[in-house]
Each structure stands twice: as C-alpha cells, then as structure tokens.
C-alpha cells in the first residue's frame, strides 16, 4: 500500500497521513478546556497514552518490480540470455503503519478506513509492548472511519469521546500517534478552524488543527485538555508529505455515530433521497432576492426514488430538510444521510417561485447510490 490522496492531484495535495508505505468522554462545556494545563501536558499524556495504539498492516502481495518487455523480433538465443540475466521477480507482501485508540475495555479500537483497507492482517501494538491480531469489525470509506476488535484476557485502558461541537477555534488540542513509525509521539496545537470541506468525500466536516500530524498519525486521536477524544486525525495538507501545520480530523460527534453503527452489524445505514443536486448560482440568488446563494438546486430526480414519490422535480430548490436549513450542498447530503430509512421528513422547496413543503419517506442508501 502507498500513501493515498483523497482529492484531485494539484500543487499542494491533501495527503492522507498514514504511513502506508515502507516508511512509514463526557461532553464538556466550551469554557472548561481552553488553557494549557498548569505544569504542561505531562500528567494528561501519562493518563491517556496507554489507550493510543500502533497499527501494523500487511496487505495483499505485489510484484517486486515490473518485468522487462523484450523487443519484437529478438533472436531466441539472445532472448534466453536476457532472461537469465534478469533477476527473478517475486511477490512481496506490502506493509503499512498507522495509529488508533481504544474506546472500550473489551478491545474496540477506532482508526481510519484507509489504514486497514485491503489488509490481509492487522496487528495492534499497545504502549506496553503487547501485540494482538485485530479483526476489522467494519469500515466506512465515506467518512474514513474503521472499527477494530482485539481480544485480551484483561480489561484494556479506554478513552472516552468529548463533544467536537463544543470545541471553539483557538481551543488547545493534543494529537497522539505513530508518525513515521515513531510510536507514542505527542504534539500540541489549537483548533485552527471547524467544518472544513477538503473535497475528500460527501460528508466532509473536518476539524483543522496546527498540531503536527504526519504520515503514521492517521487514525490517531485528537484530544481536548480534559483527555477526551474530539477528533480522529485523518489528513494533512502538504507539498512534500510532512507537516506544515495544517492537519484535518474527523469530528468526534460524527465518529461516535459511525462507530455505533459499525459495532451493530459491521455496516453503515444511511438515508437516501434520490436526487442529483448543484449549487445555486449568484445570478439566480439575486433574481430570487436572496443576496447570496443558498439551498440545493435539483438537477435530476431518480426513477422510483423517495424524491420522485414525494413530488420533487427538476428545478426545485431545496431550502430545508427536516428542519435543517440548507445553506450549501453538504448540508443536505449530511442531513439526508443522518435520517433513518423509512422515516418521514418535511422538505421545504422553492417550486415555481413558491415555497412548498413535501413529506418524503426516506429510503436506504445503497453503495451504488453513494
């Protein structure tokens, strides 16, 4: 496995922070964890570090190198000599490294999907040196979250989730993981921004932090000053693969929902509306008197979809979904996904210049519809 890119190639790509190469929580009030702890982070790190794990992945075998192609018309005797001189190409197992953290005493572990995707074997190493072979309970490529399980004969040290929504820009955070295979590494910083869309998937809602995150940190926790996990470190913005102080974490409020769903049956269930959407243009917004674009313009309605059954048509502009105002496209994507299949949602649309409400019975998103 090689480092992954979750957005189109460009001068400064968003590089997933896993070392998948040869190198490799009770909610608190926003005012509780703002300042650096008196005396520094040593006491906090000592408490939470046993819950942070090192993950080693062995993937499917790959050829050691490309075979040399012989020119057409080469004499048979010369071809044989070349073949004897060429080294034998052998399949080699591919290894990668990442991070994770324990969330239950019985051995549930959270990491990134891209850390374990395609793995034949996943090994989890604890801070005290113990190693366990892990089972992948389930994973969700759309949010890049995976749930693992290990079996130990004793209770394991677990951390709890805090509220990512309660965090404010400027709050102190601590990142832990295994950058470049250097286990037990701690970095600190602040929440640089919230609700970042880095175009890695339909449910982007990242916490941005300047706490140093590098390859190998993927799947590791981002803590608040109370020692609660408020994010899962997933990606970095980097021109050369190293930290430049712009990292991204999946917020804990989303992670908790994904983990709970995976723990149930190893799969994710999401709501489905059945429309193709695009943003409102500035010109249309001005004509409608909105000033700035908002809502989601329906470009197409799927056959036999919940949207079509509810009377939604091409050209309708979705302004709110089940009470959630739709300011941009991802607001609708997340709101629909978070709605239980078979539930009824009120959808406010601008239809031929008039606001109308449609009652939609939400369907179940299938992989082909994602």
Q: What is the CATH number of the domain that holds 17?
A: 2.40.10.120
| Contact by Cβ (8 Å): 324, 318 | no
Give the CA-trace dihedral at 175, 176, 179, 184, to 10 degrees. Answer: 150
First to last CA, the chain: 24
CB 207 within 8 A of CB 231: yes
Report which secondary-structure segment, H or E, holds 253: helix 252-265
**Does some domain include residue 56?**
yes
Q: What is the pLDDT of residue 34?
A: 47
Q: 196 and 261 share a domain?
A: yes
Q: Look up the pTM and report it.
A: 0.78
CB 205 within 8 A of CB 145: no
Domain assignment of residue 41, yes or no: yes
CA–CA dist 125, 97 (Å, integer) = 11
User: 80 lies in a domain?
Assistant: no
d(CA 55, CA 233): 14
Instruction: Name, in order, each residue with C-beta under 8 angstroms of 77's C-beta and a sequence gap of 6 or more.
Output: none
- The DSSP line for 259-318 is HHHHHHHSS---EE--EEEEEPPHHHHHHHT-SS--SEEEEEE-TT-HHHHTT--TT-EE
The answer to whether residues 242 and 276 belong to one domain is no
239: tokens are: 């021109």
Same domain (yes/no): 229, 288: no
Q: Are residues 304 and 341 in the same domain?
A: yes
Q: Within this chain, do residues 160 and 44 fall inside the same structural domain, yes or no?
A: yes
Residue 325 lies in a domain: yes
- Asked whether residue 110 is domain-assigned, the answer is yes
Q: Of 336, 338, 344, 347, which is closest to residue 361 (Cα–Cα)?
A: 344
DSSP state of 46: H
Residues 163 and 229 in one domain: yes
CATH for 291: 2.30.42.10
Boundary (domain end) residue, out of 250, 268, 286: 268
The residue annotated as part of the active site, out of 144, 171, 253, 331, is 144
Is the same domain home to 264 and 277?
A: no
Domain co-membership, 200 together with 114: yes
Residues 276 and 209 in one domain: no
218 catalytic? Reply is yes
Q: Which pLDDT score is estimated for 18?
A: 36
Burial class (CB in 10 A: 0-12, 13-18, 19+), 169: exposed
Long-range contacts of 2-6 (CB under 8 A, 24+ apart): 3/215, 3/241, 4/114, 6/144, 6/198, 6/199, 6/200, 6/201, 6/235
Per annotation, catalytic residue among 24, 51, 218, 238: 218
Strand segments, DSSP code E, in 204-246 are 206-209, 221-223, 229-237
pLDDT of 350 reads 96
Of 240, 268, 296, which marks where a domain is finished? Answer: 268
Q: Answer yes or no: is 172 within a domain.
A: yes
User: Is 351 one of the annotated active-site residues of the chain?
Assistant: no
Residue finishing a domain among 219, 248, 268: 268
Name the stretches of the chain with pLDDT < 70.
1-36, 60-75, 77-94, 368-370
Q: Count of domains in the chain? A: 2
List, for residues 302-344, the tens digit of each pLDDT value. Answer: 999 999 999 999 999 999 999 999 999 999 999 999 999 999 9
Residues 243 and 281 in one domain: no
Whether residue 334 is found in the same domain as residue 363: yes
Residue 178 inside a domain? The answer is yes
- Is there a domain that residue 154 lies in? yes
Count of residues in the chain: 370
Q: Same structural domain for residues 259 and 203?
A: yes
CA distance 207 to 198: 11
Question: What domain range is 302 assigned to?
Answer: 271-369
Q: Cβ-count burial of 122 within 10 angstroms (0-12 exposed, 13-18 middle, 19+ buried)?
A: buried
Active-site residue, from 51, 114, 164, 249: 114
């Amino acid at each position: 496995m090689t480092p992954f890119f979750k957005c189109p190639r460009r001068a400064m790509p968003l590089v997933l922070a896993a070392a998948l190469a040869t190198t490799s929580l009770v909610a608190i009030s926003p005012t509780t964890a703002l300042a650096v702890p008196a005396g520094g982070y040593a006491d906090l790190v000592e408490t939470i570090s046993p819950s942070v794990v090192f993950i080693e992945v062995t993937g499917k075998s790959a050829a050691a190198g490309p075979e040399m192609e012989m020119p057409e018309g080469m004499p048979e005797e010369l071809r044989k000599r070349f073949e004897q001189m060429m080294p034998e190409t052998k399949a080699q197992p591919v290894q990668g490294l990442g991070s994770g953290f324990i969330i239950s005493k019985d051995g549930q572990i959270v990491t990134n999907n891209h850390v374990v995707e395609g793995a034949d074997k996943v090994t989890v190493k604890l801070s005290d040196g113990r190693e366990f072979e892990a089972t992948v309970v389930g994973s969700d490529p759309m949010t890049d979250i995976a749930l693992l399980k290990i079996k130990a004969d004793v209770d394991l040290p677990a951390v709890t989730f805090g509220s990512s929504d309660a965090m404010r820009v400027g709050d102190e955070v601590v990142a832990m993981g295994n950058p470049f295979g250097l286990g037990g590494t701690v970095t600190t910083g602040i929440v640089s921004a919230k609700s970042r869309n880095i175009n890695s998937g339909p449910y982007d809602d990242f916490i941005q932090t300047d706490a140093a995150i590098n390859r190998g940190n993927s799947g590791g926790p981002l803590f608040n000053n109370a020692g609660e996990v408020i994010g899962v470190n997933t990606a970095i913005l980097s021109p050369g693969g190293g930290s430049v102080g712009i990292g991204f974490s999946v917020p804990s409020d989303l992670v908790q929902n994904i983990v709970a769903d995976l723990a149930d049956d190893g799969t994710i269930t999401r709501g489905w509306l059945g429309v193709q959407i695009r943003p409102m243009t500035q010109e249309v917004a001005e004509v409608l008197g909105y000033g700035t674009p908002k809502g989601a313009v329906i470009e197409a309605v799927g056959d036999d979809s919940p949207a079509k059954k509810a009377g939604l048509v091409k050209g309708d502009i979705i302004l709110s979904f089940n009470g959630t105002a739709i300011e941009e496209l991802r607001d609708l994507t997340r709101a629909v996904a978070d709605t239980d299949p078979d539930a009824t949602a009120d959808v406010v649309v601008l239809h031929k210049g008039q606001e109308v409400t449609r009652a939609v019975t939400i369907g179940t998103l299938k992989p082909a519809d994602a």
